[in-house]
Structure 1
Amino acid sequence: MVARNVAIDAVTAAQPPTAGAVAGAEPNGGRSWAWMRSVRAMGGSQVLRIDVTVARSQRRNPRPIDDDPSCAAPGYGSGGVDMSGRRAASLRTHAHAHGAAVSFMPESGQRFEHALEDDRRSAEHGFTLVEVMVSLMIFGMIAAAGAAILSFSVTAQRTTGARLDDIGALTRTLSIMSADLGQASLRAARDESGAPIPAFVGDSGSGSGDAPILRLVRGGWTNIDGAARSNAQKVAYRLSDGVVQRIAYPMVDGAGPLPPAALMAGVTRIGLRYRLAGAWSDRWDGLQGVPLPEALELTLQRTDGTLFRQMFLVGSGYAPPPREVVNETP
C-alpha cells in the first residue's frame, strides 16, 4: 500500500522525478513505514525506472532470554539452578529386602545413610486425609490450567478469524476500487430523470449518508449472458451506517440502481482527493478542463481510529493531450 502510494505520487507529479534516491516516512494502517525511492534512466532519457522499497520504522529487536540477568539463577551464568543453599531431602526407596542400606552423596560432600524399610501398605492402611487433599488440589490445578488453555485457544481463534475477515474486506474494497478507477472512461451518463451527468463526479467524502460520494462510468464490464447491453457500467460509492457500499446500475443512461453491495464495515469517515498536473482538489465535477483526474487519494478511518491511505490511478493515469488547432484558412 505504501509502495504503491509512493510510486503513483511520482508518476502523477507535475514534473518527472529526478534521478537518485529519496527517503521518507508515511503513517498508514496505524503504523509508521519508512520508504526509499530510487530513480534511474533506462536507455534514453525519456524512460525512467522507479524502484520503491518499504520497511517498518522503529523496529525493536527482542533481547534473548539468555541475556536477561533476571532469568539467571544465583551462582550460575544463565538458566541455572543453585542448589547449594537447599538441604537434601531424605531418599526413600521401596525394596523387597529388609536391612539393606543405600548412601546418597551430594556435591557438598555430606553423606546421608538411610535404612530401607518395608513401606508397603496393607489393605487397612489406605490413604491419609492429607494425601487425599494434596491429590485433589493437584487435580484441580491441572483441570483449571486445561480449562484456561482451552478458553484461550477458543478466544484466540475467534479473534484471529475476525482479524482475517477484516483484512480480507479491506483488500477486496481496495481491489474493486482499483479496477473501477483503472477502467474509468470518458463516457458521460444520464440519471433517472434524464439529466446529464459528467463521466466522473466526486466529493471530498462524508461521514455517513445515502448520497454517493463518487460516481463514474467504467469499461470492461463482462457480458457472460450475452445481454443486449454495452460493456460500460455506471457505478457509485457511498458510506451508509459505517459500511462502504458499491452501487451498480444495469444501464448507463436512465436506469435505476441495483441493490447496493456491502464492501467493508466499521468505517467512520471517508476522505477523497483528486490530482491533476500535480495539484490536489477536494472535488471533481468535470469542469477542470479534462473529464478525468490523473489520480485519486482515498483515506479510510476505522472505528478504532486507524487510518488507511491509498492512491489509485484513474483511467490511464495521464491527462489526454491537448487538441491541435488546425488552421483551415488558405
Structure 2
Amino acid sequence: MSRASALMISTDLRKHCSRRGAVAGFTLVEVMVAVFIFAIVAAIAMGGYNELVKQSDIANAGASRTREVQSAMQRLNIDFASLEPRPVREPLGDSLIPALRSDDRNQSLLELTHSGWSNPAGVPRSTLQRVSYRLENDKLLREYWLALDRTMNGEPESAVLLAGVKRMELRFMDGNRSWHKQWPPLGYSAPDGMRLRPIAVEITIELEDWGEIKRLIEVSG
C-alpha cells in the first residue's frame, strides 16, 4: 500500500469517528434544556409534597382536637352520671357545701361529689371524689381534692381539660321537670337541700373553633 493511500484511509477514519462522536454526544443547549425541564418537574413535585404534608398536618390537628373535645365531654358525663348525695364540710368551720353546687357568685362553675374514683394502688381513702370545674384564660380546668372534707391547707390537683373555651353554661332539671341556672335551686330551703340532685344537666360549651356544643346528661339515682 502506498503512502498516499494510507494517508487517505487515515483521513477517512478520522472523519467517520468525528461523525459518530457528533451523533452520540449532547450539545450544551440540549443539556441546559434537560436541566431546565428537570428543575420544573422537581419544583412541581416538591410543591405537591409540601401540600400533602400540610393537609396531613391539618388532618392530624383536627383529629387531635376531636379527641380532646370528646375526652372532655366524656369526663363531664362520667362525673355527673356518678353524682353522689354526699355534701362536704367547709374548709373553715362546721357548715356544709352541697353535694352539687353551681352558683355564678363562686369562682368555680360547679363543684360536686362523685363515686367511682379508682384506687389501683390500694391507698386507704374513699372512692368518692370531690371535683370542681372552672374557666381560666380560655381553658376549662378540672380540679379534685385528695380528701372530701378538706382543710384550709388542702390544695386541689388541677389539670387542663379543654382549651379554647369561650364560655360554659349549665342548667339543671329538678324532679318537676323545671330548669334552673343554679343548684341547689334559688330559694330551695328543704332539709334535703345539701343532698339534692337534679335528674338531668344541660351543658353548653362555646369553643373558639367549633362554636357552640350542647350536651344533655342524665343523672343516675
| Cα 1:164/1:305, change in 2 over 3 Å | closer
The residue type paired with residue 54 of structure 2 is T
CA–CA separation in structure 2 for the residues paired with 1:273 and 1:123: 89
CA contact (8 A) 1:247 1:257 kept: no
1:293 corresponding residue in structure 2: 198
Which structure 1 residue ranges, 5 or more long, are not aligned? 1-120, 317-330
Q: Which of the pair has the greater relative contact order for Cα pairs under 8 Å at 6+ separation? A: 2
1:267 corresponding residue in structure 2: 165
Shift of 1:295: 0.9
Q: 1:190-229 counterparts in 2 under 5 A?
A: 190-194=89-93, 195-203=95-103, 211-229=107-125
CA–CA separation in structure 2 for the residues paired with 1:257 and 1:279: 35
1:284 aligns with 2:189: no
Of the three residues 235, 240, 243, the one matched with 2:136 is: 240
2:8 corresponding residue in structure 1: none
Q: 1:106-121 counterparts in 2 under 5 A?
A: none
| Cα 1:204/1:142, change in 2 over 3 Å | farther
TM-score, scaled to structure 1:
0.53
Give CA deviations for 1:110-155 in whole Å, capped at 9, x if unaligned.
Answer: xxxxxxxxxxx73235434553343233212210111112211221
The residue type paired with residue 220 of structure 1 is G
The residue type paired with residue 314 of structure 1 is V
CA–CA separation in structure 2 for the residues paired with 1:184 and 1:305: 28
CA contact (8 A) 1:294 1:313 kept: yes
CA–CA separation in structure 2 for the residues paired with 1:311 and 1:133: 69
CA–CA separation in structure 2 for the residues paired with 1:138 and 1:308: 52
Shift of 1:215: 0.3
Aligned alpha-carbon RMSD (Å): 2.3
CA contact (8 A) 1:184 1:217 kept: yes
CA contact (8 A) 1:292 1:315 kept: no
Question: Paired residues, what number?
Answer: 192
CA contact (8 A) 2:202 2:217 kept: yes
Secondary structure at the aligned position of 1:260 is classed as: strand
2:145 corresponding residue in structure 1: 249
Q: 1:313-324 counterparts in 2 under 5 A?
A: 313-316=218-221
Which structure 2 residue ranges, 5 or more long, are not aligned? 1-18
CA contact (8 A) 1:185 1:315 kept: no
1:5 corresponding residue in structure 2: none
Shift of 1:228: 2.7
CA–CA separation in structure 1 for the residues paired with 2:210 and 2:63: 18
| Cα 1:204/1:149, change in 2 over 3 Å | farther
CA–CA separation in structure 1 for the residues paired with 2:110 and 2:97: 12
Shift of 1:218: 0.8
CA–CA separation in structure 2 for the residues paired with 1:130 and 1:303: 57
Q: 1:43-62 counterparts in 2 under 5 A?
A: none
TM-score, scaled to structure 2:
0.78
2:35 corresponding residue in structure 1: 136
Shift of 1:238: 0.8
Shift of 1:242: 1.2
1:20 corresponding residue in structure 2: none
Which one has the largest radius of gyration? 2
CA–CA separation in structure 1 for the residues paired with 2:142 and 2:155: 10
Shift of 1:260: 0.5
The residue type paired with residue 216 of structure 1 is L
The residue type paired with residue 134 of structure 1 is V
